[in-house]
Amino acid sequence: MRAIDADDLKGDLKFPDERLNRVFACMIDNSPTIDPVKQAKWIYVKRKFVAMGKEVIEEHYECSNCGYPFTNPYNRKMNYCSHCGAKIVEEEYENQWQTELIENLNNEK
């Protein structure tokens, strides 16, 4: 599949019969489109609050696109937001969760 510039393509229509130009322009306008990929980052959030008389610390990540909180037992960040579908783009993301896991294991020793 390849993306095209529909406006540029319609500008190139040069049939002698103007009706053909309108028909092909209508076909181009009604063709399926590819939605642009939404991109986001995981934002680390740490909140302190009091619940039932005790101070509680809540830690999780939120999608910068939709604000949906993401938590899991291993704190492994995913490549996509499960709520809005945005692709998570971060520098040094590829092996970050492995580094965090190794650091956690070393700290437990």
Q: Are residues 13 and 62 in the same domain?
A: no
In tens, the pLDDT along 14-46 reads: 888 899 989 989 988 888 777 777 888 888 888
Based on the fold, state whether residues 21 and 53 are members of the same structural domain. Answer: no
CB-CB neighbours of 101 under 10 Å: 13
26 shares a domain with 43: no
Instruction: Pick the more confident residue, 100 or 5.
Output: 5
Amino acid at position 54, single letter = K
| Selection from 1-10, 19-28, 67-76 with the highest mean pLDDT | 19-28
Predicted pLDDT at 100: 59
> The tokens 């294991």 sit on which residue?
105
Q: Is 30 exposed, middle or buried (0-12, 13-18, 19+ CB in 10 A)?
A: exposed
Please tell me the distance from the alpha carbon of residue 109 to that of residue 102, in angstroms, as a whole number.
11
- C-alpha 88/C-alpha 61 separation (Å) is 12
Q: Give yes or no: residues 102 and 65 share one domain.
A: yes
The pLDDT assigned to 109 comes to 54
d(Cα 90, Cα 79) in Å, to the nearest integer? 9
What pLDDT digit, counting tens, does each position of 50-70 carry? 889 999 888 888 888 999 888
Domain span at residue 21 reads 1-34
Indicate whether 44 and 17 sit together in one domain. Answer: no
* Domains of the chain: total: 2
